[in-house]
Amino acid sequence: MSGNMDLESIARVLKAAPGVSGWALHARQVESHQLYRVFRNEQARRVAHTHSVRVTVHTRKQEGGKESQGEAAFTLTGPRPELTPAQVAVAVERAKLVANAPWALPGPASLPQVPLEDPRVAAEPDAVIAELVTEMDAAAGDAPLCASELFADRVQTTVCTSEGFEGSYGATELFSEFVLLADNGTDSVEVQGIRRARRARELDLGAVVGRHASWAGDRLIATLPTGGTLPVVFGEESLDTLFDTFLAHAGGRSRYEGWSRLSEGKPLIEALSGDPITLTVDPLAPWMLGSQPMDSDGQIAHKVTVVDQGRFVERTASKRFADYLGIRATGASGNTVVAPGSTPLADLLAHGPVLHALRFSTFHPSSVTGAFSGELRTAYLHLPDGSVRPVVGGSVSGDVWHAFARATLSAEETVRGGYRGPAGIRLEGVTVAGAT
């Protein structure tokens, strides 16, 4: 890593500054090696070094017998960032204009040890990229791989606070994006894949490219789904965001802002007739993408069972919202871990018609309402006679609060990025818009 970020000097300036009741530094150094290809030719190769220190300043004041907290933040950039008293004074003036409920920055704590930095990626990023290219090309075989981007990043994150917290950890991240074409002489289609991981092992690029090549071929013969109300088994990419609504309503922010539907000890879903879910937020899982031993405030991360057997147990909360609500601070985020069910995936797809939805154009259930919609990019319709037909276009839509009342979770697990859980989740009564 280049640069020499002297955080101690920055901290000294903050400690000496008048009017500052608290402060936090969140420093990041990133070294990014990037390869871009058009078909199998190199289009561009880049190396980028960036450095930043986010400085947050807190102030306190009494107004009408009530204490409030001011906050202002700014970022220093460059490999040798320097902080001047004048910059702090400006931040203090800004902070004084803000009136938030007081909360305390995290104090001393020892950082959990989570393996997130692959020594090979850190030391030889270009060699790792070259190996990934070989793996990707081999898996694509004769399929036209018309575009690909591979990044190998190394990130060093450091946080320190006025309350005495100091923590630092290194992490690596591999990013791959690729597009495969398929052509039958009269029509041509593409399938785009995106995958992120800490190490080449979890990226599993060969297998991923192989699956996408198969989907590209199927897409040539795919047709619009027939419209109606169907059971839909969500798999692959759609699993990344399927639980976002529950996680948002289970967070401290939604409770504090007054729109959380969940109460501790109460069922996640009323009138449940399907599998009860057990949902854990785990920021400490080795090598997973959502893992981080601390958040940007310096709050030590904790594994939290949010929903246990269908019953809401505990909120996740950053230090701010934990203090506001008087609950345990768990850290801002983590991996989504869902306990598998007992039904084999094959059984979820049996007794059709059942739609197996793997990829959407975009799929982001509303954090607030739970409504979801997505145009199908890769999906398979499993018919009553056991045959399977690829479908594309049209959409599925529904509402997670209703749809999860009758959910069935597969026994098979999958791990992808920041999700570990059932490889397939069957929801009943989902609206499918397609051919009329």
Partner 1 sequence: MTQTVGVKTLGATLSALVARMEERVPYAAVLVTDQSGEAVRMATTEEQVSEPAPSRGAVFTVHTGHSLIEAATDDLTEQALTEAAERAVNAAIDAGIDRAAPPVNPGPPAEAAFDTRQHIPWESVPLAERVQRARELREAACSVDSRVVNAFGMISHTRTRELFVNRSRTLFQDLARTQSVVGVTTREGDHQAQLWDGRGRRGGWEAAEMPEGTVDTLVADCLKITGAPRLEAGYYDCVFSPEFSGIFAHEAFGHGTEGDMFLKKRSRGEQFLGKEVAAPGVDMYDDPSRDGEAASYYFDHEGQTATRTQVISNGVLVRPLTDLHTAHALKIPRTANGRRESFSKKAYTRMSNTFFGPGNAEFADMVADVAYGFYLERPSNGMEDPKSWGIQLEGYMASEIRDGKLTGRVFSPVIVTGYVPELLQSISMVGRQVEITGLGMCGKGYKEWVKVTDGGPHLRLKARLA
Looking only at residues 322 through 341 of this chain, which bind partner 1 when binding is defined by CB under 8 A? none
Choosing from 6, 7, 21, 54, the residue that interacts with partner 1 (CB under 8 A) is 54
Task: Tell me the two tokens of residue 40.
Answer: 């199998």
Choosing from 174, 200, 208, 433, the residue that interacts with partner 1 (CB under 8 A) is 433
By beta-carbon proximity to partner 1, the closer residue of 111 and 220 is: 220
Which three-class secondary structure state does DSSP give residue 129? helix
Is the separation of the CB atoms in 36 and 47 below 8 Å? Answer: no
Report, in Å, the least distance between residue 58 CB and partner 1.
Answer: 12
Burial tier of 232 (Cβ tally within 10 Å: 0-12, 13-18, 19+): buried
Q: Is 4 in the site for partner 1 (CB under 8 A)?
A: no
Number of residues that bind partner 1 (CB under 8 A): 80
Q: Is 296 in the site for partner 1 (CB under 8 A)?
A: no
By beta-carbon proximity to partner 1, the closer residue of 387 and 436 is: 436
81: DSSP letter: -
Scan residues 147-166 and list those touching partner 1 (CB under 8 A). 147
Scan residues 96-135 and list those touching partner 1 (CB under 8 A). 97-100
* Amino acid (1-letter code) at residue 208: V
By beta-carbon proximity to partner 1, the closer residue of 215 and 409 is: 215
Task: Tell me the two tokens of residue 184.
Answer: 């039958």
Task: Tell me the two tokens of residue 4.
Answer: 């020499």
Q: Is 46 in the site for partner 1 (CB under 8 A)?
A: yes
Q: Which residues pair with 308 in a beta bridge?
A: 311
By beta-carbon proximity to partner 1, the closer residue of 205 and 409 is: 205
Report, in Å, the least distance between residue 423 CB and partner 1.
Answer: 22
Applying CB under 8 A, which part among 17-25, 157-165, 185-193, 294-302 lies near partner 1? 185-193
- 49 C-beta neighbours (distance < 10 Å), count: 12
Is the separation of the CB atoms in 181 and 146 below 8 Å? Answer: yes
User: Which residue do the tokens 């009553």 mark?
Assistant: 384
By beta-carbon proximity to partner 1, the closer residue of 59 and 408 is: 59
Q: Is 374 in the site for partner 1 (CB under 8 A)?
A: yes
By beta-carbon proximity to partner 1, the closer residue of 279 and 392 is: 392
Among 227, 237, 275, 269, smallest CA distance to 364 is for: 237
By beta-carbon proximity to partner 1, the closer residue of 177 and 412 is: 177
Choosing from 138, 194, 207, 383, the residue that interacts with partner 1 (CB under 8 A) is 194
Q: Is 12 in the site for partner 1 (CB under 8 A)?
A: no
Q: Is 72 in the site for partner 1 (CB under 8 A)?
A: yes
Burial tier of 257 (Cβ tally within 10 Å: 0-12, 13-18, 19+): exposed
Is the separation of the CB atoms in 425 and 236 below 8 Å? Answer: no
Scan residues 386-405 and list those touching partner 1 (CB under 8 A). 392-395, 397, 401
* Amino acid (1-letter code) at residue 383: L
**How far apart are the two ends of the chain, measured CA to CA in Å?**
58
- 73 C-beta neighbours (distance < 10 Å), count: 15
Report, in Å, the least distance between residue 103 CB and partner 1.
Answer: 10
- Contact map string, positions 259 to 278, toward partner 1, x by CB under 8 A: x-x-----------------
The set of residues, in sequence order, having a beta carbon less than 8 Å from that of 188 and lying 6+ positions away, is: 181, 182, 220
Helices (H), 299-370: 319-325, 345-348
Applying CB under 8 A, which part among 14-22, 33-41, 159-167, 412-420 lies near partner 1? 33-41
Q: Which residues pair with 232 in a beta bridge?
A: 355, 427
Q: Is 143 in the site for partner 1 (CB under 8 A)?
A: no
Applying CB under 8 A, which part among 106-114, 130-138, 250-258, 279-287 lies near partner 1? 250-258
